[in-house]
Amino acid sequence: VKPLIFSAISKTIAFASTVRSLRSALPTSDLSNEGILEYLEFGFLTDGMSIYSGIEKVRPGEILEWSGGVTSRRTYWQPNLRGPYDQVSFSVACDETERLFLAAVEKRLQADVPVAALLSGGIDSSLVCWAISKLGAEIKAYSVGTPDDQFDESADARETASLLGIDLTILPLSSNELPRVELLAEAFSEPFACSSALGMLSISELVRANAKVLLTGDGGDDVFLGYPEHRHFLLASRLARITGSLGRGALEALAKALPNTGSTKRIRSFSSYASGGLRAVSEVRDGLPFYRRDRLFGPRLADACARSDEAETLSRSGWHLLEDFLEYDLRTRFVGEYLPKVDGATMYHALEARSPFLDIGLWEYATRIAPKDRLQGGTLKAILREIARTRIGPAVANRKKQGFMVPTERWLTSEWRDAFIDSISDGRLAAEGIVDRDAVLSSFRKLPPGSTAPRQFWYLYVLELWLRYEAEHAAK
């Protein structure tokens, strides 16, 4: 959960909890082209990768050994993502999950300072608040509202708080009230374009006046399978097994023949995933072709190769697609975006974040439950939904996932439009040779005001602001 950054050069080793603090202690450290490309693909840096050359990260569940100028790594713990799975009934799985979850919450309530909780209105944070209430703890819950956005879920959070009888404070945010986007550069020591981090920064600032420890619902979707792609990949793997190796060619042909729009889009996706496996998934998620298609890269990146460009090593079989994806997602989005978002935003405001869903005992039990049972009947995180249904009510159990969404890509073409154009026009991205200034501005200006910008423009905006902050910080 907590980062450990290190640099082993020659006969010395240095380490710190953030990239920025470590870099300040090094004689020199240049931007890594590979790191830049990885950021531009995902909007964050993934497992072990740094934006600077010569700086590395200890991976989750890993031990780093250094002796005589030589480093070695070994894994001491990793979740079971491929079986064997326990043969238990759904009701037994729900009962044991509830028991372990209550124990995890109770453990994280132990503190000699005030404790608070986040409540987004979704299932995971609602269960955290339910467990707190059941354990007899009296703490305050906090939520974020975006009144001018269709995805505002403050009403759901308010309903949950009423059902549980807990005190809730909602922080309303609009594009004019959000913390400056520049705060992402200040709070996170590497470029980090997670839009919900803005909401997390705001709510952390609100909470810090009343608490020092903050309980969150992070991790529930990842281990109990709460994302739509989890269900899609399970179905695609079943399709791959049914058709077998003889049907793979037919599925490939179908995926290529069908348009990727309208009613055939889902059929095309299933066919592509079943025949192409994780490799096909990574191609869809790869953000780099957008920059190359519109010729947005500058000379620095023209011939650079990203780690993701080596994705030929990813499985092309769809037979175990869900398991393949869970391993891939754990070392990319989970450790590169989800964990740093909460840790960085809370630590910036001197809060300690604790998530019961990251409890090792809970993870070890949940990952021994077969994916088909965690998705029983095609229901996302079916086990947690069942617990929420019986303990809180169907209104909470039937809610779709959201979670502190901030519409940055829409605001980028409206309220922040001029700021984006100004930053790119006279910015460091072009000066560093990372982008072609004219190409970026020409492509961006084609977007209608108020439309949703491609996520890659948001990534560029955050990177530009981060580069400026780093330059100013280094000069002091």
Amino acid 309: pLDDT:
46
Owning domain of residue 289: 237-329
Amino acid 178: pLDDT:
62
Q: Which of 128, 14, 141 is nearest to 66 (CA)?
A: 14
Q: Which of 329, 357, 380 is the last residue of a domain?
A: 329
Please check whether residues 214 and 269 belong to one and the same domain: no
Please check whether residues 101 and 185 belong to one and the same domain: yes
Cβ–Cβ under 8 Å, residues 130 and 139: no
232 lies in some domain: no
338 lies in some domain: no
Please check whether residues 70 and 23 belong to one and the same domain: yes
68 lies in some domain: yes
102 lies in some domain: yes
Please check whether residues 98 and 212 belong to one and the same domain: yes
Please check whether residues 289 and 382 belong to one and the same domain: no
Amino acid 147: pLDDT:
72
Please check whether residues 213 and 122 belong to one and the same domain: yes
Q: Which of 329, 360, 385 is the last residue of a domain?
A: 329
Please check whether residues 139 and 179 belong to one and the same domain: yes
Structurally, how many domains does the chain consist of? 4
Please check whether residues 221 and 95 belong to one and the same domain: yes
64 lies in some domain: yes
Cβ–Cβ under 8 Å, residues 423 and 459: no
264 lies in some domain: yes
Please check whether residues 379 and 288 belong to one and the same domain: no
301's CB contacts (< 8 A; 6+ apart) are 33, 36, 37, 433, 434
Please check whether residues 171 and 280 belong to one and the same domain: no
**Cα angle 327-377-154, degrees, rounded to a multiple of 5:** 75
Please check whether residues 97 and 182 belong to one and the same domain: yes
Amino acid 148: pLDDT:
67
The CATH number of residue 365's host domain is: 3.40.50.620
153 lies in some domain: yes
Please check whether residues 292 and 357 belong to one and the same domain: no
Q: Which of 13, 40, 75 is the last residue of a domain?
A: 75
pLDDT in tens, the chain (476 residues): 789 999 998 889 999 999 999 998 888 789 999 999 999 999 999 888 999 999 999 999 999 999 988 999 999 999 999 989 999 999 999 999 999 999 999 999 999 999 999 998 789 999 999 999 999 998 899 988 877 666 778 889 999 999 999 999 988 776 666 668 999 999 999 999 999 898 899 889 989 988 999 999 999 999 999 999 999 999 999 999 998 876 788 888 888 888 877 778 888 888 999 998 998 888 888 888 899 999 999 999 987 765 554 455 677 788 999 999 999 999 899 999 999 999 999 999 999 999 999 999 999 999 999 999 999 999 999 999 999 999 999 999 998 776 566 789 999 999 999 999 999 999 999 999 999 999 999 999 999 999 999 999 999 999 999 999 999 987 55
* Integer angstrom CA distances of residue 71 from 2, 9, 11, 42, 307: 21, 10, 10, 28, 22
83 lies in some domain: no
